[in-house]
Amino acid sequence: MNFDPNIPIYLQIMDEFKKNIVSNNFTLGSKVKSVRDLAIEYGVNPNTVQRALSELEREGLLRSERTSGRYISDDEELIKKLKVEQATAIVDRFISDMRALGFTNKMIMETIEKSIQKDED
């Protein structure tokens, strides 16, 4: 994973986890790799991974079982809410970027419709 030097690494790891959870790359209720394994995978200090996982736990996206590790939440409503929040943030950024280019709402909608149509063909 290539990290953005302007954003704390633990936040980027959290975002990566969230994307994997909402896109079903992680099965709800599945076991999360150990902190040590994730630190090696990401090439970061284990404390950074621990902080990210602890924050995800605090948000309810992970749960800890005392002797067996951490698991992805199986709270489908929470996951659905996170998915909508992430989609809304993407759309908001897109609209903001398009407006910065001088697009009106009508022009933005036309551009989206053309892209969807092209994708369906």
- In tens, the pLDDT along 18-46 reads 999 999 999 999 999 999 999 999 999 99
Return phi, psi of residue 38, to 5°.
Answer: -65, -40
pLDDT, one tens digit per residue, over 51-74 is 999 999 999 999 999 889 999 999
Predicted TM-score of the model (pTM): 0.83
Question: Contact 79/28 with Cβ under 8 angstroms?
Answer: yes
